[in-house]
Chain A
Amino acid sequence: MNTEPVLTITGYSGTFPAPDGGRLSVLEDISFSIAPNAITAVVGETGSGKTLTALSMIGLTPPAFRRTGGSILFAGQDLTQLDERAFRRIRGSRIAMAFQDSRSALNPVFTIGTQLGDVYRLHRQAGKKQARTMAAEMLERVRVPEPRQRLSQYPHELSGGTVQRIQLAMALACRPSLLILDEPTTGLDVTIQADILELIVELTREENMSVCMITHDLGAVAATCDQVVVMRDGAVRETGSCEQVMTRPADSYTRELLAASRAELSAS
């Protein structure tokens, strides 16, 4: 079994323009790695920098963001040194991302079949009919009921859970080696959340890929993840196996976060 990390971030730092005209450091010395064939969770609250880190892995940081140092190694390449063109070859095919608000990740004026099919046509040079068949197959793999019918439906006709699965299908179309998920369960009902997470765990096994899950939901982390990275205010506070971080947290912030997630009422 492969033990080389799929992706390694080392000393990654970056800034944003500050209100007073200077620069504000938003990421400081981020270092962690994503284990192969496993789910690594990047946990933090708002402002922790977890999403920005994820966007850096896929080269989609906002224009105002400036990297001030560090590297991101993936498949022998330093992603920070790639230009947009080179990144486009990787993005979608080798590293894929599913975004937080799945409904807005889909174009409301095109059918599912068109959008999903487009991914195949673009990356796998498939013909129209072939793309449609591949799309239906992919929908089956993400356990969407009645896949053929979904192809001719529009995003707004579908439930949140189904839309999330479709987004996963789009991300998986090219069999990426790394899948980044940004808050995959936000906004979904409790029972659907559990379903989606189960799906993610199964897919990780079946597709032989690695997953990086950005989340603030420690319950989801405990249920599904193998490795955990805890972030706060732009810095990494702790990393380790899921068992270790959740049962024997070394960092004080991690302990606070765990206590809060277990809804321990603090005296206030």
Chain B
Amino acid sequence: MSPVSTAQHSALTVTDLVKQYRVTSQGRVGVLTAVGGVDLHVSAGETLALVGESGSGKSTVAKCITRLTEPTSGTVQLGDLDLTSLPKRSLWKAYRDIQMVFQDPSSSLNPRMTTRAIIEEPLRLHSGLNRAERETRIRRLLADVRLDDKLLDRYPRQLSGGQRQRIGIARALAIEPSVLLLDEPTASLDVSVRGQVLGLLRRVQRERNLGYLLISHDLEAVRKVADRVAVMYLGKVVEQGAAAQVFENPAHPYTRALLSSAMTAEYGRTTERFRLSGEIPSPMSLPPGCRLAPRCPLARLSCSLSQPETITISPGHLSACPVTAGQEQETSSPPLCGSDS
């Protein structure tokens, strides 16, 4: 699914990313396709959210972008730099421009390092600043994430989950990257702290014009924070577009199922659930056509026979379901730009 190119300079572009694993299961060797050809782009100052359930491949996409896991094929372009073709030993330099905030604040910080040491490490490796300059920078970063200086000499075990996550963010911002990968940044935090951390991330983004790739299963947070959304199912992006559009007019059946199942803390809201039958199948035995077809109430015969084409619902809003797009064409007003039916 190729996104419509935008006028803005793309900070991060992912093209046809594929990740396959060779797996031996019960004596048989098979291929597990965790990511089956994904196209994404993130512009400076915008947040693209990647949502999906287990087996969707969203975390694998993040790992492949940073090459913490090597992708099987595809390209990742960071600004002008082609990350995927860099030799491994040059990778560490590229990490100046893209950083990651990890999910679990208790295990993403080295328990034996003080706050200062944790934030200082990237500065020592990349910045070329001397000790005093580093110290200044560290204090400024701490202020940016609204933490007190006196935490500099503490160890992670002495801090709360929210504080640890802020340190993780400070570390990621230390060498001033242009893109941040946020892998479920609030999932392990208490509910009352999540809003603060999300607010912090938003402010930092505005101040530094960062591009964010946010991986999350918290649809409410995504709705509030994301500019664009890409929905993944079993390794493929099934729908992509502006957050407002995708949430108000979900085109793909999977998106509809996902959104209608999400429960908000609002009393009395009853949404008619769009149901999928069965459960998410194992990524090892993928159906030949549309991956959702076996579970989809709207599936037609053609769905199981071949990969569905990508339909443009409206500029920037793409869906991999010709069936629902066909229905939309009939009922709604003429689309804004050319699209197939």
Contact = CB atoms under 8 A, between A and B. Distances in A.
In the complex, A touching B (Cβ < 8 A): yes
Contact of B225 (A45, A222, A243, A265): A265
A193 B278 contact: no
Nearest to B219: A190
B196 A266 contact: yes
28 contacts: A45-B191, A159-B280, A161-B279, A162-B279, A189-B54, A189-B280, A190-B219, A191-B258, A193-B263, A216-B190, A216-B191, A220-B263, A222-B266, A243-B268, A246-B265, A256-B192, A260-B194, A261-B265, A262-B220, A263-B221, A264-B224, A265-B195, A265-B224, A266-B196, A267-B199, A267-B203, A268-B197, A268-B199
Given A159-B279, A268-B146, A219 B264 contact: yes
A260 B191 contact: yes
A160 B197 CA distance: 29
B129 interface: no
B260 to A, nearest CB: 8
Contacts of A263: 194-195, 198, 218, 220-221, 223-225
A3 interface: no
Nearest to B274: A191
A84 to B, nearest CB: 34
Contacts of A197: 263
Interface in B284-313: none
A46 interface: yes
Interface residues of B, number: 40
B265 A218 contact: yes
A258 B191 CA distance: 9
Contacts of B203: 267-268
Given A161-B279, A246-B267, A259 B195 contact: yes
Nearest to B54: A189
B93 interface: no
Nearest to B281: A159
Interface in B193-220: 193-200, 202-203, 217-220
B6 to A, nearest CB: 25
A104 interface: no
Tell which of B190, B265, B266, B273 has the most Cβ of chain A within 10 Å. B265
Interface in A237-254: 242-243, 246-247
Contact of B265 (A159, A160, A262): A262
In the A-B complex, the 5 residue pairs with the closest CB atoms: A219-B263, A218-B265, A189-B53, A194-B261, A261-B265
Bin the interface of chain A by size.
35 or more
A266 B199 contact: yes
A142 to B, nearest CB: 14
B94 interface: no
Given A45-B192, A46-B190, A221-B265, A190 B199 contact: no
A44 to B, nearest CB: 10
Nearest to A218: B265
Given A257-B192, A268-B203, 17 more contacts: A45-B191, A145-B278, A189-B53, A189-B217, A190-B53, A191-B258, A193-B261, A216-B190, A222-B264, A222-B267, A222-B268, A257-B191, A262-B265, A263-B225, A265-B202, A267-B203, A268-B146
A216 B280 CA distance: 25
Nearest to A246: B267
A60 interface: no
A24 interface: no
A216 B190 CA distance: 9
B269 interface: yes
A154 to B, nearest CB: 13
Contacts of A45: 190-192
B255 to A, nearest CB: 11
A223 interface: yes
Contacts of B200: 268
B219 A243 contact: no
Nearest to A223: B263
A192 interface: yes
A217 interface: yes
B141 to A, nearest CB: 15
Nearest to A194: B261
Contact of B264 (A189, A192, A262, A266): A262
A46 B190 CA distance: 7
Nearest to B263: A219
B262 A190 contact: yes
B323 interface: no
A243 B265 CA distance: 11
B257 to A, nearest CB: 6
A45 to B, nearest CB: 4
Nearest to A190: B261
